[in-house]
Structure 1
Amino acid sequence: MKPVLVVSNGHGEDLIGAALAQELRALGYAIQAVPLVGRGQPYEKAGFCVRGPRREMPSGGFALQSPKAFWADLRAGWVSMSLAHYRAVREAAREAVATLVVGDVYALLVGHFMGRPPLFLMQCRSSLRAWERRGWSRPYSALERFLMRRAVGVYPREPEGEQWLKARGVPQACYLGNPMLDALEGVPLEPAPPYLLLLPGSRSDAYQSLPRMLEAVRLLGGLGLTPVVAWAGLPIEPLYAPGWRLETTGLAEGVTHCLSHPDGTAVYLTQGAFKATLLGAGVAISTSGTAAEQAAGYGVPLVGFPTLGPQYTQAFAEQQKRLLGEALMLVPPHPEAIAQGVRRFWDSPELRAQARRAGRAAMGEPGAARRIAQKIHQELQARGLEQSPSR
């Protein structure tokens, strides 16, 4: 099988990279994945070879958001880890027929200088919809556009991205949909829908935000929604929710833990069951990035609130609001305000219908992963790259 090197930088990017990799595998390609942020669990779950160090940094991949986060990553060994990543990319590139980058300008730099041409880019982070037009800011930086011009295929996440890039010297930009909507996986669940879906995210924000979500759940008794947490693979041990008891079910997937409160409130914590939780959700409470956008794309109204970071800060929340519009209701980070937001959605079919329309308009239709994989396959065929390169 002809190897393709996949380089990604983020938990959401890994999910998308794994979805694209599965479609490429169906077309006859082997996959070598190098995740630059985190442990690359989506690749591992899909059965792909994962190369390079697989460590979580304190910033969760958001080192440039603050000097404090940057220095914390440096102290945790970011330099040595990154050098090991670069070596892994170079080694995997020796046998690859192409490099697929899933992420932003950093992943693109690594893929361009250390990967194997031809280069393909799935730019799933930058959004014209979410871009705040002020000063000299650009949704895609000058450096990123410079590197994009050296790629064979550039696949932005929305049609506006294709138009903007083509107008600025990236003619190979081609919108084929947003593969976030194809990055669903998981086992079925026993608790019956509809769910009140809690999405605390894949970064350390989750340890701050989930306790607030749980307190909001206590205020929502009698709503008719089953509270379910979609836990995104973080260690469970640091989770502390005052007044709540956490018990394991002994399962590795599905409902792995139960959270109970003395007042009788029960919440199911799930792992490896995101597809079931998403498709059964009536309303979601979220401090997540990719998972929130996936939920919006499938018509789930979202109530979000800012955290202290590293990811779901006030600025990040406002950016996501610009992207998702009426699909996301931002509220203050207090259980009472969160509960009120959920009630507003659930009590108003009109607000839920507006949220569904806005989410689907922002995220497009499923099937993009297959379309992008087929486009990459066609480009490789046109270049005669049907055999693995000699070592």
Structure 2
Amino acid sequence: MKQILLISNGHGEDIIGATLGGALQALGYALQAVPLVGQGQAYRRAGIPTLGPCRELPSGGFALQGAAALWADLRAGWFSMSRAQYQAVQAAARGAQATLAVGDVYALGVGVVFGGRPLFLMQCRSSLRVGGRPYSVTERLLMRQAVRVYPREPEGAAWLRARGLPQACYLGNPMLDALDEGSLELPPPYLLLLPGSRQDAYWSLPVMLEACRRLRDTALTPVVAWAGLPLDRLELKDYRLEATGRSEGVTHRLSHPDGTVVYLAQRAFGAALRGSRLALSTSGTAAEQAAGYGVPLVGFPTPGPQYTPGFAQTQKRLLGDALMLTEPSPEAVVRGVRAFLSSETLLERARAAGKAAMGEPGAAARIALDLHQHLHQHLQATGLEPERSRSR
């Protein structure tokens, strides 16, 4: 069985990597993964073995946002952890027929320096829609080492091809295929709460919960899509957290003395998206997935590390009318929700903008098949394809 090594640098990138890995497994490949940021939970849930140390550092993968974040990561052992990860990539590449990097220039750089050939890149971060040059000169130079580059949008592929990278090919955004499909036994429509997968969630979820209390008259069922952060660090005012005994779907209930009940769901994001009318968000990947499925978003900035004012504005440029940004207060969030609910025109405009920005589902299977075909051609050209495979 042919082996492919996956390298990714972020929580959302891990989810996309695991999704692409599942599509490659369906074509007969074995997978190993080295997640460069965080704990690699998406790979473990998908049954894909992870290599190297998998640890969450203080910056949550945003060390370059400031000197304090970088220093905190260095003190927490970034150098030693990264060295061990590079060694894991190098060792795994010796037994792999290809390397697939998922992320931005960091994952690509690790793949070029330490991974095996042929190298493939799923560039799921950069977007022309946010303005400026999405791919640096350094990244474009590294991309020349890749057999195929899969940007997240058609504009990106055209931009790269016009700058001497004919291997850039848009086949869709696999982010829309990266959904947990557990059941969610709650009556829709939902008000979906997306606090994110980083430390921002501990700050933003209480704001969202207070907004839910003020939106009880909307008849929307509040559902938190929780990304697996430890719940014991959540500081709740007045709400009581109760476990349901389930490991997926509604795993906890949040109950307020005024009668407000909010359901916390895990590993059921697909069902949550399909039943949602609106979402409150301080998330990255999950917000983009929601927009792609036609769910309008009300977002607000946090102190970080991820959903800072700058990040929020960048996401606004990407998603356009699909995302309404407000001040970070329950009152402002409620006004945003009511503005959407009172205007079918705003809702329709948001749904259309989200789908236009994110494309159509099914990209994971298309990318996996394209990778398979190019890998087959490469192995034949280098004489590494087994005789039995060449004779078919």
**Is the CA contact (8 Å cut-off) linking 1:32 and 1:48 kept in structure 2?**
yes
**2: CA distance, partners of 1:187 / 1:40:** 19
Question: 1:218-266: CA deviations, max 9, x gaps?
Answer: 1101101000000001111100121211111121111111111111111
**Other-structure match for 1:201:** 196
1:203-223 per-position Cα deviation (integer Å, ceiling 9, x unaligned): 000000000000111110110
**Structure 1: tracts of 5 or more residues without a match:** none
Aligned to 1:251: 246
Match of 2:91 in 1: 91
AA aligned opposite 2:145: R
Structure 2 distance, partners of 1:27, 1:352, is 39
| Paired residue type of 2:371 | I
Q: Which shifted more, 284-293 or 76-85?
A: 76-85
**Partners of 2:187 and 2:79 in 1: CA distance:** 47
Q: Deviations over 1:168-221 (max 9, x none)?
A: 121111111100001011311111111000000000000000000001111101
Structure 1 residue aligned with 2:4:
4
Greater length-normalized contact order (CA 8 Å, ≥ 6 residues apart): 1
**Alpha-carbon offset, residue 41 of structure 1:** 1.0
Separation of aligned partners in 2, 1:241 and 1:349: 34
SS of alignment partner, residue 192 of structure 2:
strand
Distance 1:291 1:365 in 2: 16
The superposition leaves residues 298-343 of structure 1 with CA deviations (integer Å, 9 ceiling, x where unpaired) of: 0000000000100000000000000000000000001001011111
User: Following the alignment from structure 1 to structure 2, what is the Cα–Cα distance between the partners of residues 53 and 254?
Assistant: 29
TM-score (norm 1): 0.96
Match of 2:231, SS state, is coil
Contact 1:380/1:386 (8 A) holds in 2: no
* 8 A Cα contact 1:2 1:387, kept in partner: no
Deviates most, 285-294 or 164-173: 164-173
Q: In the TM superposition, what are the counterparts of 1:203-242 in structure 2 within 5 Å?
A: 203-242=198-237
Q: 1:28 to 1:386 in 2, by over 3 A?
A: farther
**Number of the residue aligned with 2:301:** 306
- Retained in 2: the 8 A contact 1:289–1:312? yes
**For the Cα contact (< 8 Å) 1:128–1:139, is it kept in 2?**
yes
Q: Of residues 377, 386, 391 in structure 2, which corresponds to 1:382?
A: 377
**Residue 171 (structure 1) aligns with:** 166
Determine the structure 1 residue equivalent to 2:155.
160
How many Å separate the matches in 2 of 1:334 and 1:319? Answer: 20
Task: Identify the residue that residue 114 of structure 2 maps to in structure 1.
Answer: 114
Task: Report the structure, 1 or 2, having the larger helix content.
Answer: 2
**Equivalent position of 2:256 in the other structure:** 261
**Aligned position for 2:21:** 21
Matching residue of 1:145: 140
Give % identity.
68
Q: Distance in 2 between matches of 1:74 and 1:250?
A: 39
- State the partner residue of 2:70: 70
| Residue in 1 that maps onto 2:104 | 104
- The CA distance in 2 between the partners of 1:121 and 1:333, in whole Å, is 36
SS in 1 for 2:351: helix
How far apart, in 1, do the equivalents of 2:342 and 2:275 lie?
Answer: 18
Mapped to 1, the partners of 2:246 and 2:361 lie a distance apart of: 30
CA distance in 1, matches of 2:386, 2:351: 45
Report the secondary structure of 1:4's partner residue: strand
Q: Does the 8 Å CA contact 1:97/1:387 hold for their aligned counterparts?
A: no
Q: Give how far 1:347 is off.
A: 2.1
User: What SS does the aligned partner of 1:70 have?
Assistant: helix
- Tell me the SS of whatever aligns to 2:183: coil
Q: Which residue of 1 aligns with 2:337?
A: 342
Distance in 2 between the 1:361 and 1:372 partners? 20
Deviations 1:36-81 (A, max 9, x none): 0111111111111111111111111000001111111111111111
Distance 2:97 2:289 in 1: 31
- For the residues of structure 2 that align with 1:315 and 1:153, how far apart are their CA atoms? 31
Paired amino acid for 1:125: R
Partner Cα separation in structure 2 for residue 130 and residue 278 of structure 1: 24
Greater shift in the superposed pair: 346-355 or 107-116: 346-355
Q: Distance in 2 between the 1:110 and 1:281 partners?
A: 38
Relative to 1, partners in 2 of residues 1:387 and 1:32: Cα closer, same or farther, differing over 3 Å?
A: farther
In the other structure, the counterpart of 1:186 is 181
Does the 8 Å CA contact 1:2/1:386 hold for their aligned counterparts? no
CA shift, 1:96, in A, is: 0.2
> Which residue does 1:40 correspond to in 2?
40
Matching residue within 360, 367, 391 for 1:372: 367
| Equivalent pair of 1:283/1:301 in contact (CA under 8 Å) | yes
Structure 2 length-normalised TM? 0.96
Give the match's secondary structure for 2:262: strand
Say if 1:20 and 1:387 are closer, same or farther in 2 by CA, change over 3 A.
farther
**Letter paired with 1:80:** S
CA contact (8 A) 1:260 1:267 kept: yes
What is the match of residue 56 of structure 1? 56
2:390 match: none
Distance 2:73 2:186 in 1: 40
